[in-house]
Amino acid sequence: MRTQVAIIGAGPAGLMLGRLLQLAGIEAVILERKSADYVLSRIRAGVLEQGTADLLARVGLGDRVAAEGLPHGGIDMCFDGDLQRIDFTARVGRHVTVYGQTEVTRDLMEAREASGALTIYEAGDVAVHDFDGRQPRITWRKDGIEHALSCDFIAGCDGFHGVCRASVPERAIRTFERHYPFGWLGILVERPPVSEELIYAHHERGFALCSMRSLTRSRYYVQVPEGERVEDWSDQRFWDELRGRINPEAAQRLQIGPSIEKSIAPLRSFVAEPLRFGRLFLAGDAAHIVPPTGAKGLNLAISDVAMLGAAFVEHYAERSDAGLDAYSARALARIWKAERFSWWMTSLLHTFPETGPFGRRIQRAEFDYLCGSVAAQTSLAENYTGLSLD
């Protein structure tokens, strides 16, 4: 079997890249370790930057996000119960859209299936070969049979624990990492959200976030120490903790109910450099991780493949490798800015073991500065709604 671009991973990065290539008449095969149902059942990100929603529309998938997505013109920042709204529309003339990653994935999967393009789910033991030569190859096992695919390029869109980054020789790659000694305990509940917009809250007991998936379904998070077990968190314990960390008006309005999903996600900052190894390109979580506090993970995966897709189109349609040669540096410039913003939001809003009384005063001063400065609000709004591709 042969194709032009072999894409490893059917998450948002792999599926969006597949869509961009397909619209340009470039052949691609997607190989995914899990089943389609499993991929769709993962509850992850919920906020789309304006550029991400715009790209969905540009690739012909704008209808459902326009009908069901919730445009948000701002967020609330809360510090020890004090509230400050950051008005995105007033500050930068842009907004974000609340639309779950599950829905983005579903839209891309359905369009791909309808187009007849090939996705191989439940592909085991995927291995990438010869990407430093002219003719890369992929092998995998399915239903007990060994398969092989040769291609011009490999796109490693296989997430943080994928095989692509792990296949690069250690001397060719440099990684940068920051570990946070806490995680987010999140629950999903079939109740209307506590507020029209998201509330990001700092409290001495830790961070809390009030988010949503729709007008009837809410998503809430609280910071928990590393090593905490979901089994130790009854719904009641979660609600009590959340109520104690957000502003009293919101705590009073909060509609609670039985959780329909409950899980703990670790927090990490991670970047791999470079993003290109011969004919292998990394994109999305395969190349970088941000803590979710800036709502950047999914958006960064999409902006990476917007750049990579354009570079492949340039290669095939214009016979120019300028885009492919520039991809790593161009994508990393944007990735590091999103890393900085996500780290900054995390540092402002969480309680760290080493924070201490001085650290808390600094966090308070940062919040007070944000409240009193249009420039600081503009900076937050500009980053949250998404920086331009260059």
Which residues on adjacent β-strands are paired with residue 223?
184
Residue 269 binds ligand PHB, judged by CB under 6 A = no
* 27: CB partners within 8 A, 6+ apart: 3, 4, 5, 21
Asked whether the beta carbons of 331 and 299 are under 8 A apart, the reply is no
* 355: CB partners within 8 A, 6+ apart: 363
Overall residue count recorded for the chain in this entry = 390
Which residues on adjacent β-strands are paired with residue 218?
189, 212
- Give the C-alpha separation, 48 to 296, whole Å: 8
Residue among 5, 6, 7, 10 that touches ligand RFL (CB under 6 A)? 10
Residue 101 binds ligand RFL, judged by CB under 6 A = yes
Q: Which is nearer to ligand RFL, 270 or 352 (CB)?
A: 270
Question: Binders of ligand RFL among 112-141, rule CB under 6 A?
Answer: 123, 126
The piece of 153-161, 172-180, 292-300, 305-313 that touches ligand PHB (CB under 6 A) is 292-300
Residue 194 gets which letter from DSSP? S
CA angle 40, 15, 213 (to 5 degrees): 45
Q: Which H/E stretch holds residue 274?
A: none
CA atoms within 13 Å, Cβ hemisphere of 190: 2
Residue among 293, 377, 383, 385 that touches ligand PHB (CB under 6 A)? 293
The single residue of 12, 136, 292, 350 carrying the catalytic annotation is 292
Would residue 200 show up in a list of annotated catalytic residues for this protein?
A: yes
CB of 190 to ligand RFL, least distance (A): 18
Q: Of 269, 277, 270, give the one whose Cα is nearest residue 170.
A: 277
The single residue of 99, 136, 180, 200 carrying the catalytic annotation is 200
CB of 221 to ligand RFL, least distance (A): 8
Residue among 3, 105, 195, 211 that touches ligand PHB (CB under 6 A)? 211
Q: Which does 39 bind (CB under 5 to 8 A by kind): ligand PHB, ligand RFL, none?
A: ligand RFL
Tell me, letter by letter, the H, E, C secondary structure of 64-123: HHHHHCEEECEEEEEECCEEEEEEHHHHHCCCEEECCHHHHHHHHHHHHHHHCCCEECCC
The piece of 7-15, 32-40, 45-53, 225-233 that touches ligand PHB (CB under 6 A) is 45-53
Question: Binders of ligand RFL among 15-34, rule CB under 6 A?
Answer: 31-34
Residue among 11, 46, 136, 309 that touches ligand PHB (CB under 6 A)? 46
Residue among 120, 295, 301, 338 that touches ligand PHB (CB under 6 A)? 295
The piece of 12-20, 144-152, 230-238, 328-336 that touches ligand RFL (CB under 6 A) is 12-20
Residue 218 binds ligand PHB, judged by CB under 6 A = no
Asked whether the beta carbons of 133 and 41 are under 8 A apart, the reply is no
- Mask for 273-302, x = binds ligand RFL (CB under 6 A): -----------xx------x--xxxx--x-
Residue number of the CB closest to ligand PHB reads 46
Residue at 138: amino acid letter = I
**Sign, Cα dihedral of 332, 311, 168, 132:** negative
- Give the C-alpha separation, 271 to 369, whole Å: 30
- Mask for 346-375, x = binds ligand PHB (CB under 6 A): ------------------------------
* Contact residues: ligand RFL, CB under 6 A: 8-14, 31-34, 39, 44-45, 101, 123, 126, 157-163, 265, 284-285, 292, 295-298, 301
Catalytic residues: 72, 200, 292, 296, 384
